[in-house]
Amino acid sequence: MSSAPLNPAPPASDFIREIVAQDNASGKFAGRVITRFPPEPNGYLHIGHAKSICLNFGLAQENAGRCHLRFDDTNPAKEDQEYVDSIMEDVRWLGFDWGEHLYYASDYFQRLYDWAVLLTGAGLAYVCDLSADQISRMRGSLTQPGTPSPHRDRPVQENLDLLERMRNGEFPDGARTLRAKIDMASPNLNLRDPVMYRIAHAEHHRTGSQWCIYPMYDWAHGQSDWIEGVTHSICTLEFENHRPLYNWFVDNIAKLGGAPANVSYRPQQSEFARLNLTYTVLSKRRLLELVKGGHVNGWDDPRMPTLSAFRRRGYTPEAIGQFARSVGVTKFDSVIDVSRLENALRDDMNRRAPRRMGVLDPLKLVIDNYPEGQSEELDAINNPEDPAAGTRKIPFSRVLYIEQDDFREIPPPKYHRLAPGQEVRLRYAFFVRCTTIVKDDQGVITEVHCTYDPATRGGDSPDGRKVKGTIHWVSAAHAVQAEVRLYDHLFNKQDPNDVPEGQSYLANLNPHSLVVAADARLEPSLKEAAAGERFQFERHGYFCVDSRDSRPLRPVFNRTVSLKDTWSKMEKKKPAS
């Protein structure tokens, strides 16, 4: 990478930044700004998470505050250390640092349990023997109040005793729950005696078999923020109607004298619209399904919308940050066109990625009037956007490869590339004119023969002769053979969930999301390319050396993103040399 990364544009203000500014002005949190990014370690982070990360860490940076990384690890059945590790790697890759503020909800299990005992002792929670199914059936609906549990009025002592026995492992999974005693007729369903604890005799990736009851997310989340002194608890819109429940828990614990020492305020939750992208699914459940079902090759398959996949595919964290800032923070759900992400990437890559020539679908081109066994070196510009990137030498010889697509035996109208009798410019090299073609027994063209004009060295004709087409090429004897993977959207519908009744979103998988150019020939300077290195292959797009499968003499490249406008741009950018 030669030149400096994209200069991050300052984020525009938004309603959350305004809330923070107001709180700072009113002294609500005595000027503190403490945010957190609270993933559940049950999958890899995706581009939606990046929006939340940039917002939470960004707010902390802009306000000289801090942002915690907290794992909301309350569901042992679905969580794993692998996910914890990948999440930390991804947050760092985006350029953020939580410093010493790494937390786990599981660190608060004892505290939460003590609070549950406190609420139970005050008659604000009870042990219920209904099954999960019964509870959900008796919850009522938006128009129907819920039905109280037959155990709702259990005496306090009995509740305390049963809670302790739940905790001690006396009951099987699902036999009982602890529920908050709030209001079965509340218009907010979250307040209809929500479950606080469930029994699950499951190994937790951090607490082992220490616990056999686990807090529900809603019972853990708000208090975890509170314990950490989070001021601005930012989450996505679907949690808006959980906010009254979080406040109920915290307020009642505070009333009973249970507030954490050193925290004189309660977190203020604000909700923003989650990121949705066209042609993309962003639900962890679905992403897991794609991985487990073998529809992709793992979480970091470059077609996935996970940060690890983007990294492997060649996306830069700067482009992702730029995109996250540009989509902004609002209260309204919308779907963002995935091309906005791709454009942010092109902007970044255009400045940074050195240009190279690579032939993905090779056709042999023989220059009959070029001496056999001879070769010469020509100068090629590394990056027209970055003069400091300089030039490099590329070898030229009698036998070259060009793209199959750049030759037509019978050219359609306005075809300016190579055809019998037609003259084109070989990029950075010479003008060549096609004289004859060679075909095999099946009539397939195996060689195109040309003559070249030595006076056009460097790609310009001294007699002012013009050619309409410029094509790229590599010298056959010098080229490096490579595998190039061309990715397209994983789904072929803008809304992957748009399927006929009874069908799965999997029906919208794009069968052409990966096309492999198995026998590509690249200019020799790419022999040494290291994993993760990024290039523009002229006229093809931006590419990155695959970090998993690439080998020194057999490199594998991933197409990061295609070029938007290849042909006209290249003609305009033709160097003046």
Backbone angle region of 252, left / alpha / beta, with phi > 0 → left and psi within -120 to 50 → alpha: alpha
Q: Cβ of residue 284: shortest distance to ligand ATP, in angstroms? A: 3
Q: Cβ of residue 252: shortest distance to ligand ATP, in angstroms? A: 24
14-35 in b/e burial notation, b at 16+ Cβ within 10 A?
eebbebbeebbeeebbeebbbb
* Residue among 285 and 465 whose Cβ is closer to ligand ATP: 285
3-state secondary structure of 520: strand
231-257 in b/e burial notation, b at 16+ Cβ within 10 A?
bbbbbeeebeebbebbebbbebbeeee
* Residue among 324 and 514 whose Cβ is closer to ligand ATP: 324
Which residue in 32, 36, 40, 181 is the catalytic one?
40
3-state secondary structure of 393: strand
* Residue among 180 and 230 whose Cβ is closer to ligand ATP: 230
In the block, residue with structure tokens 């129907």: 144
Angle, CA 257 vertex, CA 252 and CA 262 arms, to 5°: 105
Which residue in 284, 427, 485, 534 is the catalytic one?
284
| Rounded Cα gap, residues 115 and 253, in angstroms | 7
40 is catalytic: yes
Contact 525, 394 (CB under 8 A): yes
Contact 381, 355 (CB under 8 A): yes
Which residue in 17, 28, 78, 274 is the catalytic one?
274
Q: Cβ of residue 282: shortest distance to ligand ATP, in angstroms? A: 5
| Rounded Cα gap, residues 474 and 539, in angstroms | 14
Q: Cβ of residue 31: shortest distance to ligand ATP, in angstroms? A: 24
> Helix 156-167 crosses helix 109-121 at what angle (to 10 degrees)?
160
51 is catalytic: no
* Residue among 275 and 345 whose Cβ is closer to ligand ATP: 275
Q: Quick one: the chain helix, strand, coil %, rounded to 5?
A: 30, 25, 45
Instruction: Please give the backbone phi and psi of residue 521, each rounded to the nearest 5 degrees, phi first.
Output: -125, 125
| Rounded Cα gap, residues 91 and 67, in angstroms | 12
Contact 430, 456 (CB under 8 A): yes
Residue nearest to ligand ATP as judged by C-beta position: 48
* Residue among 272 and 401 whose Cβ is closer to ligand ATP: 272
Question: Which residues in this chain contact ligand ATP in the complex, by CB under 6 A?
Answer: 38-40, 48-49, 51-52, 235-236, 274-275, 282-285
DSSP string, 167-181: HTT-S-TTS-EEEE-
Strand residue runs (E) in 459-513 = 470-471, 474-475, 480-487
Burial of 205 (0-12, 13-18, 19+ CB in 10 A): middle
284 is catalytic: yes
> Helix 317-327 crosses helix 338-352 at what angle (to 10 degrees)?
140
Catalytic residue positions?
40, 274, 284
